[in-house]
Amino acid sequence: MLGETITVAGAGLAGYVAWGVRGRSAQVFGRSLWKGPASRRAIALTFDDGPSESTGRLLDLLARHGAKATFCVIGFHVRRLPRVAARAAAEGHEIANHTDTHPHLFLRSQAFIVNQLERAQKSIEDATGAAPRFFRAPFGSRWFGLDEAQRRFGLTGLMWTDIARDWTLSAVDIDLRMRSRARPGAVFCFHDGRELTQNPDISNTLNALEFMLPAWRDAGYELVTASELFAGPVAEMNEE
């Protein structure tokens, strides 16, 4: 009986930790947000893994449709393309920390996590003149030590309501997946880069957004940054 109890308890603990690592509403490894207030007809667009050589085309597209976004950038790419990061910030978009080299943080030491956030934070501030407010963990994977690292750099975790899977889907499938998921307070995750790949092909993402941006606008949605979405009370934002 005792052995069975220990086994059940161990399985329960393992499940709790697994949820803490990847659960979009989990607060186990640091404060994190994943949806905004349902009272506002707004969507926060976020783009991971940039900046890339194609980010300029994305910025042009967002400008044409009057949309703002949050770019969760990798320090490595910011150092490669500082002017692209600076342009995004200058055009009113938000820049968030997405680590320095896009590693899994799962099972990593606290020192490793701190170093990843610190290097990216410095590169972003050097390029844009401002320190990020939000942090998005690569692969949405978090671990012990992240809470202290976020606090040290004044960061809040940023997960997502829905993810486009645009690194693998066609433009048509991205459109089918994401357009119908629009709802007040949603945080959508797209990609303007592909991890550490240089000059990635993101044409499927751009082509899908050509259809979705005007459709969301016609449906009455504001397309805003994460900071704009989370500007009000956040009491209901972390409930599933």
With residues binned 3-state (H G I as helix, E B as strand, rest as coil), the percentages for the chain, rounded to 5, are 45, 15, 40
* 161-167-169 Cα angle (round to 5): 85
Answer whether residue 10 is part of any domain: no
pLDDT at 9: 53
Q: How many CA atoms lie within 13 A of 13 on its CB side?
A: 6
Which residues form the domain of 184?
Answer: 30-229
Residue 93 lies in a domain: yes
7 in any annotated domain: no
Q: Compute CA 32 distance to the chain's CA centroid, rounded to the nearest angstrom.
A: 11
| pLDDT score at 45 | 98
Sign of CA dihedral 57, 176, 40, 140: negative
**CATH code, domain with 175:** 3.20.20.370
- Residue 1 counted as domain residue: no
Question: Which DSSP string do the residues of 168-224 spell out, in sequence order?
Answer: TS-HHHHHHHHGGG--TTEEEEEESS-TT-SS---HHHHHHHHHHHHHHHHTT-EEE
pLDDT at 8: 45
146 burial (CB, 10 Å; 0-12 / 13-18 / 19+) is buried
- The answer to the question of residue 203 being in a domain is yes
pLDDT for residue 4: 52
- CA distance linking residue 206 with residue 54, whole number of Å: 9
Q: Is 48 in the active site?
A: yes
Pick the catalytic residue from 77, 93, 102, 191: 191
Decide if 18 is inside a domain.
no
Out of 48, 49, 147, 192, the active site residue is 48
Can you give the pLDDT of all 240 residues of the chain as single tens digits?
Answer: 545 544 545 566 688 889 888 889 889 989 999 999 999 999 999 999 999 999 999 999 999 999 999 999 999 999 999 999 999 999 999 999 999 999 999 999 999 999 999 999 999 999 999 999 999 999 999 999 999 999 999 999 999 999 999 999 999 999 999 988 999 999 999 999 999 999 999 999 999 999 999 999 999 999 999 999 999 655 444 555
47 in a structural domain: yes
Instruction: Give the number of domains in the chain.
Output: 1
| Spatial distance between the Cα atoms of 203 and 221, rounded to a whole number of angstroms | 24
Domain presence at residue 87: yes
Four-CA torsion 146, 149, 154, 155, nearest 10 degrees: -30
Whole-structure pTM over 0.85, yes or no?
yes
Q: Is the peptide bond before 233 cis (omega within 30 degrees of 0)?
A: no
Q: What is the pLDDT of residue 198?
A: 96
Q: CA distances (Å), 218 to each of 77, 100, 126, 213, 222, in order? A: 34, 37, 38, 9, 10
Quote the pLDDT of residue 16.
Answer: 84
pLDDT computed for residue 15 by the predictor = 82
Whether 104 is a known active-site residue: answer no
> Hey, what amino acid is at 81?
L
